[in-house]
A = this chain, B = another copy of it.
Amino acid sequence: MRAPIQTAETICVGTELLIGHTLNTNSHFVARQLSLMGINSYYQTVVGDNPDRLLAAIRSASTRSDCVFLTGGLGPTADDITMAVAARAADRNLTLHEPSRQAILEIFTRMGREMTDNNLKQAMLPDQSIVLPNRNGTAPGCIIEFEQDGADKTLILLPGPPSELRPMFLEQVKPYLVQRTSRILRNTFVRMIGIGESKAETVLKDLIDSQTNPTIAPYAGEGEVMFRITQLAQSHDDPDNTGPLLEEVTKRAGEYIYEVGERKMHEVVADLLVERHATLSMAESCTAGLAQSMLGEIPGASRFLTGGLVAYANEVKREMLGVPAELLEREGAVSEACAIAMADGCRLLFGTDYAVGITGIAGPDGGTPEKPVGLVHLAVSDANGCETRVMRINGNRARVRGVAALNAFDLLRRRILG
Contacts and interface: CB of A to CB of B under 8 A. Distances in A.
A217 B79 contact: yes
A316 B310 contact: no
Interface stretch (A113-121, A125-133, A237-245, A249-257): A113-121
Interface string A277-313: 0000010101111111101110111100111111111
A222 B20 contact: no
Interface stretch (A83-91, A174-182, A391-399): A391-399
Interface string A382-402: 000000000010111111011
Contacts of A137: 394-395
Interface centre among A25, A201, A392 (most CB of B within 10 A): A201
A220 interface: yes
A22 interface: yes
Given A31-B19, A167-B396, A396-B167, A315 B305 contact: no
Taking the full assembly, how many copies of this chain does it contain? Answer: 2
Nearest to A349: B320
A322 interface: no
Interface stretch (A33-41, A148-156, A410-418): A33-41
Interface size on A, as a range, is 35 or more
Nearest to A397: B299
A197 interface: yes
A363 B31 CA distance: 29
A357 interface: no
Interface in A12-69: 14-25, 27-35, 41-48, 50, 53, 57
Contact of A25 (B23, B46, B161, B305): B23
Contact of A32 (B19, B107, B113, B118): B19
A196 interface: yes
Contacts of A234: none
Interface of A: 14-25, 27-35, 41-48, 50, 53, 57, 72, 75-79, 107, 110-114, 116, 118-119, 135-137, 160-164, 167, 187, 196-199, 201-202, 208, 217-220, 222, 228, 282, 284, 286-293, 295-297, 299-302, 305-313, 315-316, 320, 349-351, 362-365, 374, 392, 394-399, 401-402
12 contacts: A17-B31, A18-B43, A76-B198, A77-B218, A114-B199, A161-B222, A163-B399, A289-B292, A302-B312, A306-B312, A307-B309, A307-B316
